[in-house]
Amino acid sequence: MSGRAAWEGMMSAFRGDQFKPTVILFVAPFLMVTWKYFGDPKYLAAALPDACVLWNDRGATGAMASFLAGFVLLGLIPALMVRFCFHERLADYGVCLGDKVRTLRSMLVLCPGFLLAGYIASTDSAVQAQYPINPSAGQSPGMFAVHAATYLLFYLGWEFQFRGFLQFGIRHRLGDVNALLVQVLASGILHLGRQASETYASFFAGVLWGVLAFRTRSLLSGLVQHYLLGVTLDWFLCYWR
């Protein structure tokens, strides 16, 4: 195949019904890697100028800046692309209540399990060494409340990136199963560097929350469960251990 033919073949991926999944599969890894390197809490804690440091606490500021960066890079930018590049509704990517009965039922059934998982994880010494991401979260109830609020921004971005932008965005081209597996692969890779148990668990959680997103037509159930796991883990680490 000539170079021109190869180029034209590659460019055809950006036309017709291939345009959207091609753009998503190109943009999503770029956003993920950018957040992984430049949204890292320790990187931001060291890089932020003194004028941007809150409470004279670089660790806490770096963590909150990382959560905000996750919201912008993983959530806000893809959401803007959906609206203004693809000209589609965010509701079609799970930003809605969806099937209210299935959403509520799944939360009632599964949320207690994630509360228990947060407690069990808090007993793991490897987890204790890495969490909470904000090292000052347990200094006071007020600091923990700020931590929990900014942590929610991160989870909003995370769930939209993987279960929304990726999974819903490519399902019509790749099919539901492959779209789900792509987001599981992507979210699992972003866990590399964490303890092995968390990385392996992320694959199973990604399947669960991906299936729930399809079944409920909403990101809400998975978002609530994921956030509940993260924030209760930190609460147990800060106030129980």
- Residue 227 one-letter amino acid: Y
For 11, residues 6+ apart whose C-beta sits below 8 A from its C-beta are none
pLDDT band with cut points at 50, 70 and 90 for residue 81: very high
Who's near 94: CB < 8 A, 6+ residues apart?
160, 163, 164, 168, 213, 217, 218, 219, 220
What whole-number distance in Å separates Cα of residue 65 and Cα of residue 87? 30
The pTM for the full model equals 0.92
Q: pLDDT value at position 240?
A: 81
Chain segment 160-190, per-residue pLDDT in tens? 999 999 999 999 999 999 999 999 999 999 9
Strands (E), the chain: none
Q: Left if phi > 0, otherwise alpha if psi is -120 to 50, otherwise beta: which for 159? A: alpha
Q: Measured between alpha carbons, how far is residue 214 from residues 101, 195, 220 in Å?
A: 14, 29, 11
